[in-house]
Amino acid sequence: MSRAGARISPGQFFWATAASMVAGGVFLWPMPLLLEAGADWAWALGADGVLVALTLAAQLAWGQRVPGSSMFGRLRTLWGPLAWPWLLGSTALSVVVEAVVLDLFVRMLQTFVLPGTPAWPLRVLLAGLAWVVAAQSLDVLARSLRTWFVVGLAAFMLMVAVTAAHATGAAALHPPWPPSGHGVLAGVAGTWLFWIDDGGVAITLAPFVRGLDWAGARRWALGAVALQLAVVAIVTCVVLTTLGPWAGGAKMWPMIELMVGAGPTSFSFVRPSLLILPVWIGAFVGYLAVHAHSISANTRAAVGVPESARRWHALAITSAVLIVAWQLPDAPTVLTMATQDLSPLALGLSIGLHGLSLLLAIVRPLRQAQPARGS
């Protein structure tokens, strides 16, 4: 049964927005941040939080001002035919970013858990799982995300706390003063794609929140940013106080190495730290699914097909993610490409799309009103 008029609760909107940020690449933190921002990592992380919050606020502010049934509908009202390049650009970037994160996640699984298993079944299963979840109606998707994300987050923070027992001191958390503009900018540009990949999740889901206006949705979305900022800050602090900045920056996935290395290691024990894998798989599938669902809502609106085509659009998007992931080179090259090229592009697109749309949404009614006043 298709439920075109499905509504979600404010709490489900909060968890869905949270799942659309950070969750896909949480296993990589804080490596890209340390690599790009160096000593200025703390300032860059703070700037990340502020900028992500501003972008989401801008996204919901122009969404509120412009009528339409989806992000694409609103873009068309605002930009006219120019809505198409925005949609194609943001969709293509979203697909590539998700493919990069999928590829890195699969390589991490191969390194730590399934060294003898080829990458393709892992990729296909993760993308397939994401498709099954993304193809559901919004209320079913949001309910699944809320349930699994809360459980996963709690388990993850428990594992982080166990690892934190090995912290040797807070000296590594000392931020430099004054912050270096170059370091902060490099940090923000290099980590942006782990925050927002511009499938427009918040603006797409906000109109479906039960009994909530846009200002309420903005508060919940900013709460989701605060939650994910706290998660990333805790992970970064644990890695820095245990491994230190030099060793922490040298590892591709420092958090999982710490979790595996910090637990009891004896032939007689099953490593409890490996429990983190189902948690991360859940978070990853949720991330992929919420993006695929949101993009499919916009592509459906663009080609004018009904709600019932949802599963086929979600299938097309997850398949595209899978095909792009198949073409990617080795993990270090992919990571360099992600932080050096894709992430600054995503930052530019986020600011361009939502900043300019907000500006246009504010200016256009005035422009229309001016001749009326003059006549």
Partner 1 sequence: MRSGDRLRAGLALIAVCALLLTAGCGDALPVEDRALVLALGIDPNRTSAAGDLDWTFVLPNATVTASSVGRQSPGTQVSGVRVTAPDLSTAMNALQDRLARKVYMGDLEVFAIGLATPSDRARAAISDLVQFGSVPDGYSVVATPDPATRLLSVVTTQDAIPRYFLTLYLNCSGCHRHDWRVRGWQWWAAAQTPGVVPHAVVLRPEAGSAVVAGEAVYPAGPGPALVMPPDAQDGLFLTMSRTTAAVVSGLAGRRRLSVSRLTGRARTTARLVGGRLEVSVRLHVRGVLTSQGGVAIPSGGAAQAALVHAAQVLVAQHMLDDVGAAFRWANREHCDPFGLTTQALLARPRLAYALAPGSSVWFPIDVRMTVRADVVSASSFT
Residues that bind partner 1 (CB under 8 A): 1-3, 38-39, 111-118, 121-122, 125, 128-129, 132-133, 135-137, 140, 144, 166, 168-169, 171-172, 174-176, 180, 242-250, 257-258, 260-268, 271
Q: Between 195 and 253, name the residue whose CB sits nearer to partner 1.
A: 253
State how far the Cα of 218 lies from the Cα of 223, in Å rounded to an integer: 8
Q: Between 246 and 373, name the residue whose CB sits nearer to partner 1.
A: 246
Q: How distant is the alpha carbon of residue 9 from its chain centre?
A: 21
CB 304 within 8 A of CB 142: no
State how far the Cα of 38 lies from the Cα of 135, in Å rounded to an integer: 41
Report in angstroms how near the CB of residue 139 gets to partner 1 at its nearest. 9
Report in angstroms how near the CB of residue 295 gets to partner 1 at its nearest. 19
Q: Between 115 and 374, name the residue whose CB sits nearer to partner 1.
A: 115
Q: Between 98 and 257, name the residue whose CB sits nearer to partner 1.
A: 257
Any idea which residue has 């999982």 for tokens? 256
* Strand (E) or helix (H) holding 30: none
Q: Between 250 and 369, name the residue whose CB sits nearer to partner 1.
A: 250
- Return the DSSP state at 2: -
Q: Between 266 and 368, name the residue whose CB sits nearer to partner 1.
A: 266
Q: What ranges in the chain are assigned the alpha helix state H?
A: 10-19, 31-37, 41-65, 71-79, 83-112, 119-134, 138-164, 181-191, 201-205, 214-242, 244-250, 254-262, 276-303, 310-327, 331-337, 343-350, 356-374
Cis ω before 175 (30° cut-off from 0): no
Report in angstroms how near the CB of residue 176 gets to partner 1 at its nearest. 4
Report in angstroms how near the CB of residue 61 gets to partner 1 at its nearest. 33
Q: Between 11 and 176, name the residue whose CB sits nearer to partner 1.
A: 176
Between helices 41-65 and 356-374, what is the axis angle to 10°? 40
State how far the Cα of 362 lies from the Cα of 191, in Å rounded to an integer: 30
Report in angstroms how near the CB of residue 19 gets to partner 1 at its nearest. 17
Q: How far apart are the first and last CA of the chain?
A: 54
Report in angstroms how near the CB of residue 225 gets to partner 1 at its nearest. 26
Report in angstroms how near the CB of residue 293 gets to partner 1 at its nearest. 13
Nearest residue to 199 (alpha-carbon basis) of 117, 304, 88, 101:
88
Q: Between 269 and 373, name the residue whose CB sits nearer to partner 1.
A: 269
Report in angstroms how near the CB of residue 43 gets to partner 1 at its nearest. 11
Q: How distant is the alpha carbon of residue 36 from its chain centre?
A: 19
